[in-house]
Structure 1
Amino acid sequence: MPNPFVGSEVGRLREVIVHRPGVELLRLTPQTKDDLLFDDLIWVHRAQEEHDRFSGALVEHGVTVLHLDQLLRETLSHAEARSFLIDRATDERIHGPALAPVLREVADRMDDAALAELIIGGLTKRELLELTDEPPSVVLHTLGMDHLVLAPLPNHLFTRDASCWVYDGVAVNSMRMPARIREAYTYEAIYRWHPRFAGRAFQRWSDALDDAAATVEGGDVLVLGDGAVLVGMSERTTPQGVERLAQRLFAAGSADRMVALHLPGAREFMHLDTVMTMVDERSFIEYAGLGDLPSYTITPRGSGEQVELDIADHRPGRAHHAIADALGVDGLRILTAQQDVHSAAREQWDDGCNALAIAPGAVITYDRTPTSNAYLRESGIEVIEMPGAELGRGRGGPRCMSCPVVRDAT
């Protein structure tokens, strides 16, 4: 079993973590969807079928597919992991001091499979009272029978964000939105206690338990290769998070240059990979409406723990040049399908730029972005289409739904 290592964005993909939609998506209602960061409700049965096609395509191309819920169940066989996750799911600041210990007791009685479903799928008041007598809790008393006592984690569908592997290490990320904060704890437990990861040699680039406001999300992090990293400062990733990530990578000697792009702070640009992804060693598919982004190149000064940051501020219109310099190539090939403004905006919203490379020049995309897919093929890129009629409602594509753990350098 190879050590975790992600050496590029487009090298041969060997191993990846995904999450098949489950009961957590059944918790989405017109009343809960906004707080849970979804724009629409999802037909879960069809979404599961689509996700199975996604996983199947990965397996057909030689990728080892690890399922998050299975990793979690196996991790929960470790007593310390159970305590760690139960403690973080039953928080007195959220549930109050009367209800939190009752929830903790209910969770601790569950077997590993039921506890994994509770952590990801959440719990309503009605379901809680089927498991225990009603405690004298003001918090619980004010809730309706079908209100959520423990919030679900439907955004675990997008395994890219809370955990991202960069070269020889992993960032377990501090998440920007409250609905996603607990996702990082799932990965923290898996990487600490699951036998596939425990005791393995890898670095730690961030610690969600400590990083707090210095947020970074994996959808904003692209591993360019050969020590270069591209990061978006977006609705979800902060400049201070970018600087902290750069400093840790540089201190370990795992990277020596980072390009940071300043994205508009809007939902349609929530992560860099919603508007720009790499499809071969020097080619990117890019949204036509992206415009000229402010950009910065960050490099180390000094070495080891004393490393400081040199930051070069590029003038508008130089972002592509900065990325090319980081890649060590004369220029980039930017692939942008020719469409009218409205069509381009629709395809970007439907994740037309969110391609997952499985090898140089071979990507998985949704079938709901036909113009972008056709343009990629005309440009010499192999496109493997997957259905996305339901999954696409979650505003995340194939790259969002994958957390590469082992990927070749290029």
Structure 2
Amino acid sequence: MIELNIQNETSRLRAVVLGIANSNGPIPKVEDCYDPKSIEHILAGTYPTEAAMIMELNAVAKVFEKYNVKVYRPEVIKDCNQIFARDIAFVIDDILIEANILPHREKEVQAIDYIWNKVADNKRVILPEECHVEGGDVMPWNDYIFIGTYSGEDYPEIITARTNADAVIAIQELFPNKTVKSFELRKSNTNAKENALHLDCCFNPLGKGKAIIHKNGFLIEREYEWLVNFFGKENVFEITKDEMYQMCSNVFSISEDVIISEQNFTRLNKWLREQGFTVEEVPYAEIGKQEGLLRCTTMPLIRD
């Protein structure tokens, strides 16, 4: 059995699911894409190759090995994009919640059944069908759960809107002792620079009381300001629209003071080191072309 424990985003990591790029399938058709950035790269002929993505994921696996983190990988499904492990499930406290993701992605969830089956029955939750949620929108933060959402009337037409109000309510009911704070995110099916696909695409809490944030990712200014005040302006690293587009907020904490980051994030990585973090740099720019990065490809199971 696996004894799950996730209280926040930064405690020392002990076990994680890392996505896999083997048998990733052919380059998708534009009409089958779920986000504007992938479309951009398909049209430009720069969509990432399977070999490049395998190499990048392996670089992260090596960092986990260095820090003695147990790594689980999804079972390989032929011709299926299984890179974004965070989308398919997430852990809060000792409960594993299966995400209700886009309809034709159920196979990805089945690929981690062998992990699901190692979790006690009463610690596994499948939310009702009307609750749409993906792990990139859900951040346990001690007494809080931060959730990115979108409640515009055009929700059904917005393929980049992944977490709805029903899911926010269901999660609050599951964790009555925590404060659930939801944040309305800016969405666009067509412009990657105006689209916060998930909360972790425009915000990420770090160790040492720090955080990364992108103001324009939030639809409601006072919700953005609440976060800045919560962490304190002096502790927040504001990223530009271009940096959000490069997925600068989507780094991943192994502990309070160790962060995995993309090697090209020069400005961010310099700031992180100035704050006293150990920064483990990896190449991840190819995976980033699909509008997801380090947090999106990892799903923590156990933190101390």
Q: 2:178 aligned with 1:256, yes or no? A: yes
Larger helix percent: 1
After superposition, the C-alpha distances for 1:158-216 in whole angstroms (9 at most, x for unaligned) are 101111001110110111x33424323434x33453xxx15x37623434xxx223101
Partner of 1:304: none
Unaligned runs of 5+ in 1: 70-116, 123-151, 295-314, 338-343
Identity %, equivalent residues: 20
Query: Tell me, what secondary structure is at the counterpart of 1:289?
Result: helix
Greater relative contact order (CA < 8 Å, ≥ 6 in sequence)? 2
Tell me if structure 2 keeps the 8 A contact 1:19–1:401.
yes
- AA of the residue aligned to 1:219: G
Query: Tell me, what secondary structure is at the counterpart of 2:65?
Result: helix
- Aligned partners of 1:246 and 1:316: how far apart in 2? 18
TM-score by length of 2: 0.83
Partner of 2:213: 286
- Aligned partners of 2:122 and 2:252: how far apart in 1? 24
Task: Kindly state the Cα deviation for residue 291 of structure 1 after the two structures are TM-superposed.
Answer: 5.3
After superposition, the C-alpha distances for 1:88-147 in whole angstroms (9 at most, x for unaligned) are xxxxxxxxxxxxxxxxxxxxxxxxxxxxx5xx224xxxxxxxxxxxxxxxxxxxxxxxxx
- Aligned partners of 2:13 and 2:245: how far apart in 1? 26
Task: Kindly state the Cα deviation for residue 376 of structure 1 after the two structures are TM-superposed.
Answer: 2.1
- Aligned partners of 2:14 and 2:225: how far apart in 1? 34
* Correspondence for 1:274 among 189, 201, 216: 201
1:399 to 1:321, Cα distance in 2 relative to 1, 3 A: closer
Q: 2:122 aligned with 1:184, yes or no? A: no
Partner of 2:68: 62
Query: Tell me, what secondary structure is at the counterpart of 2:111?
Result: helix
- Aligned partners of 1:293 and 1:240: how far apart in 2? 19
* Correspondence for 1:228 among 131, 137, 144: 144
Partner of 1:206: 126
What is the root-mean-square deviation in Å for CA atoms of aligned residues?
Answer: 2.5
Task: Kindly state the Cα deviation for residue 367 of structure 1 after the two structures are TM-superposed.
Answer: 1.3
Q: 2:46 aligned with 1:49, yes or no? A: no
* Correspondence for 2:267 among 354, 371, 377: 371
Q: 2:65 aligned with 1:158, yes or no? A: no
- Aligned partners of 2:232 and 2:266: how far apart in 1? 30
- Aligned partners of 1:374 and 1:174: how far apart in 2? 37
Tell me if structure 1 keeps the 8 A contact 2:185–2:218.
no
Partner of 1:35: 32
Query: Tell me, what secondary structure is at the counterpart of 1:212?
Result: coil
1:157 to 1:202, Cα distance in 2 relative to 1, 3 A: farther
Partner of 1:108: none
After superposition, the C-alpha distances for 1:319-357 in whole angstroms (9 at most, x for unaligned) are 2278x3xxxx888821125xxxxxx22221111110100
After superposition, the C-alpha distances for 1:2-40 in whole angstroms (9 at most, x for unaligned) are 61111211000110011221112x3224xx254143333
- AA of the residue aligned to 1:163: A
